[in-house]
Amino acid sequence: QVQLVESGGGLVQAGGSLRLSCAASGRIFSSYAMGWFRQSPGKGREFVASINWSGGATYYAESVKGRFTISRDNVKSTVYLQMNSLKPEDTAIYSCAADTSGLAKIYSGSYYLPYWGQGTQVTVSS
């Protein structure tokens, strides 16, 4: 069983930055790929970024490429999402998830990730 807890959300003006953290319990965090997803009112869940087990491969949604950076610290069992140049359309609840395959990908269509955090709210004002 893996528990994921996100933190770092908040209210920021457009153009500002936030860093989200996702802390994982369990000793096998380092074998999992991790992903960040977001959901805003009236919209479905959207893939944001993912990172493989070692941190050597990352993937991003086109909408955040060049602005967001995903990283991980396997010693601290934590994955991060650095968000720069934030836009009002980035407003959403951001959640992290664990992929037990260890392989990062761009998640679209039908997929199953067994472990999810509760989410953290990010609000970007114009």
Which positions ≥6 away from 18 have C-beta within 8 Å?
8, 9, 10, 12, 83, 86, 122
The full length of the chain comes to 126
Q: How high is the pLDDT of residue 28?
A: 86
Q: How high is the pLDDT of residue 34?
A: 97
Q: How high is the pLDDT of residue 109?
A: 85
Q: What is the mean pLDDT of residues 75-79?
A: 96
pLDDT, tens digit, 9 for 90 and up, residues 20-55: 999 999 778 999 999 999 999 899 999 999 999 999
Which positions ≥6 away from 8 have C-beta within 8 Å?
18, 19, 20, 21, 120
